């Protein structure tokens, strides 16, 4: 029996070729996230579904697909869009794409860190607005990184990659998370493990690399922002809802922290309007993994996961 594979949004052709070796492929042609009704209609009769981070995958989607559904392959490392117990409890395998986007996301994190601390976006906006300017020693001063403390929330693969890059800029590393890192990782990065409250109080830059869970939703709220130094910066390349954007906008407006750089947003693709009015905010549209090489590798890994499951083999990167 030929297997039907549904891809909810366009992916690189190399990934589609992998999928064609495993069954009949339907790629949804709409260049936008599907509505719930459209998504459920698209997956009817599917044996495999390749999903994006904006697709809600739950018991209702599994029911809409039918009993023949075997695998949902999410083209993202995060899977907060998937109700994993509800899906796997119905005998459907869930996979994600860890590992392949570590370097791209870490690179972007450092780019955002430099943009916000050195006021690069602000400077470019000034020139594009054709505002008059001249060089002088007090003009558009930013903050150097050397000797400053980077506080990493979530020292997983991406957090570690960010730490290595930050050390090359002369930064000191502190971190917090659900569990302590291995001794060899702490030694390599010369990283100090701190409780979250202490990290917030002492870090010059707080960089978020934790998954979105019920425990981390609005982890950075009004209370957390009040704990940070008024000279500190916040960087978020994890998931938008980890930060309470309204509380962040108010803290930035009131000068309670120095600046923020965001790649992800609480209600994507919407951005809290108050953030867009502030010069001490850098915003980019979820570009963490946005290199040709990385997005291709993500899609190909998802496709290989589908092919493995449909062939009766173990998936490469299952979500348990």
Q: How far apart are CA 136 and CA 134, in angstroms?
A: 6
Q: How far apart are CA 2 and CA 176, in angstroms?
A: 48
Q: Is 201 strand, coil or helix?
A: helix
Token reading at 294: 């990385």
Q: How far apart are CA 221 and CA 136, in angstroms?
A: 38
φ/ψ (deg, to 5) at 162: -65, -45
Q: How far apart are CA 208 and CA 149, in angstroms?
A: 14
Residues assigned a catalytic role: 239, 268, 286
Q: ω into residue 269 within 30 of 0, thus cis?
A: yes
Please answer whether residues 254 and 278 qualify as being in contact, where contact means their C-beta atoms are separated by less than 8 angstroms.
Answer: no
How many CB atoms within 10 Å of residue 221? 16
Q: Residue 161: name the closest of 124, 209, 121 by CA.
A: 209
């Amino acid at each position: 029996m030929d297997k039907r594979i549904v891809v909810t949004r366009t992916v690189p052709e190399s990934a589609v070729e992998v999928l064609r070796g495993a069954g009949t492929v339907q790629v949804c042609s709409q260049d936008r996230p599907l509505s719930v009704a459209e998504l459920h209609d698209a997956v009817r009769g599917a044996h495999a579904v390749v999903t994006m981070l904006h697709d809600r995958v739950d018991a209702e989607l599994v029911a809409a697909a039918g009993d023949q559904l075997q695998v949902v392959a999410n083209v993202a490392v995060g899977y907060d869009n998937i109700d994993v117990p509800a899906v796997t409890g119905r005998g459907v395998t869930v996979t994600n794409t860890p590992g392949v986007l570590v370097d791209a996301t870490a690179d972007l994190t450092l780019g955002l860190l430099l943009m916000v601390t050195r006021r690069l976006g602000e400077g470019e906006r000034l020139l594009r607005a054709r505002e008059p300017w001249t060089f002088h020693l007090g003009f558009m001063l930013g903050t150097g990184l050397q000797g400053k403390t980077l506080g990493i929330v979530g020292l997983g693969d991406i957090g570690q990659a960010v730490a290595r890059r930050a050390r090359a800029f002369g930064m000191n590393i502190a971190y917090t998370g659900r569990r302590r890192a291995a001794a060899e990782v702490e030694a390599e990065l010369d990283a100090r493990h701190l409780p979250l409250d202490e990290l917030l109080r002492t870090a010059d830059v707080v960089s978020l690399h934790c998954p979105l869970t019920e425990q981390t939703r609005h982890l950075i709220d009004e209370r957390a922002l009040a704990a940070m130094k008024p000279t500190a910066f916040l960087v978020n390349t994890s998931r938008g809802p980890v930060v309470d954007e309204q509380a962040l906008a108010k803290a930035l407006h009131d000068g309670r922290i120095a600046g923020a750089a965001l790649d992800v947003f609480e209600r994507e693709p919407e951005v809290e309007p108050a953030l867009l009015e502030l010069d001490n905010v850098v915003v980019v549209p979820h570009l963490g993994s946005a290199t040709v090489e990385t997005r291709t590798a993500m899609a190909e890994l998802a496709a290989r996961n589908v092919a493995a499951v449909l062939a009766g083999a173990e998936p490469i990167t299952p979500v348990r």
